[in-house]
Amino acid sequence: MKSFNPYTPSRRFITVEDFSWLTKKSPEKSLTVSLKKKGGRNNTGEVMVRHQGGGHKRRYRLVDFKRDKLDMVAKVIALEYDPNRSARLALLQYLDGEKRYILQPEGLKVGDKISSGPQSEITLGNCLPLANMPEGTVLHNIELYPGRGGVLVRSAGASAQLMAKEGDYANIKMPSGEIRLISVRCLATIGQVGNIDHENVVLGNAGRSRHMGIRPTVRGTAMNSVDHPHGGGRGRSKGNNQPQSPWGQPAKGYKTRSNKVWDWLILTRRQNAVSTQASA
């Protein structure tokens, strides 16, 4: 992390990640595609996600979340920045010459060799089924369904842990504290996602947020009553309303999850895990 002398008010708190350890500045051209901005709008032009828009133009890096090139050794030839995610990327080159991006695990360096498949060793960066891993292994990029590709634990500094295996399912402890069942046939990558210091970054000023494509957030109490349940009134007032969204949905503790088909896969919910740790 880099900090600065406070030669302006915003510079007093701004922190920037140190990119000196990255080995390649421009991306692998064959592994990038154009990325069209949507500004949070759907196909009819209606805003579905607020606070999105603008920002610097980006190219999307095609990341190999499936790790389906089995039983072939790959060498790490570069470590790169990706503007589309908080994690860093490692560029692999396989023995047949093919290149692929993967999420860079913490500790993976240029020159290291990794592989995928059931016969792979239990070492950093290798990808193999949960059935072939010992209990206690630290994981990331975990599949929910065999063959789908990793969808869980992909952000910077995140890691899960293999707690136990019973029959066709493994108990995985997620970064949130939730413990859930995942098929032992699902693939996962060994190690913790790199760029651990990402959570300590302080943007520091509005311009830096806009550069990242984040538009401003306006308080409900600053709006008119026609625009928000907290709006209007003489002076600053919530109007005796509970905290809620512009559309009237409660903002504190209101449960919206309705997918009960897969509830049996969740052994310990994250709220319960947090309350248990707090009482301890």
Question: Domain residue spans in the chain?
Answer: 18-39+57-198+257-279
Cβ atoms within 10 Å, residue 233: 13
Cβ atoms within 10 Å, residue 85: 17
- Domain 18-39+57-198+257-279 matching CATH 1.10.3730.10: the answer reads no
Residue 244 CB-density burial (10 A; 0-12 exposed, 13-18 middle, 19+ buried): middle
pLDDT of residue 276: 63
- The answer to whether 117 and 133 have CB atoms below 8 angstroms apart is no
Q: How many CA atoms lie within 13 A of 63 on its CB side?
A: 21
Distance in angstroms (rounded) separating the CA atoms of residues 212 and 52: 9
In the predicted model, residues of the chain with pLDDT beneath 70 are: 273-280
For the residues of the chain, what is the DSSP string, one character each? -EE---SSTGGGT-EE---TT---SS--GGGEEE----TTB-TTS-BSSTTB------EEE-B-SS---TT--EEEEEEE--TTSSS-EEEEEETTS-EEEEE-BTT--TT-EE-BSTT--S-TT-EEEGGGS-TT-EEESEESSTTS-EEES-STT--EEEEEEETTEEEEE-TTS-EEEEETTSEEEES-BS-GGGGG----SHHHHHHTTB-----GGGS-TTT-TT--SSSS--TTPPSB-TTS-B-SS-------TTGGGEEE-HHHHHHHHHH-
Enter the pTM of the model.
0.89
**Assigned token pair, 165:** 């295996």
For the stretch 66-90, pLDDT in tens is 999 998 999 999 999 999 999 999 9
Residue 27 CB-density burial (10 A; 0-12 exposed, 13-18 middle, 19+ buried): buried
pLDDT of residue 236: 86
pLDDT of residue 274: 63
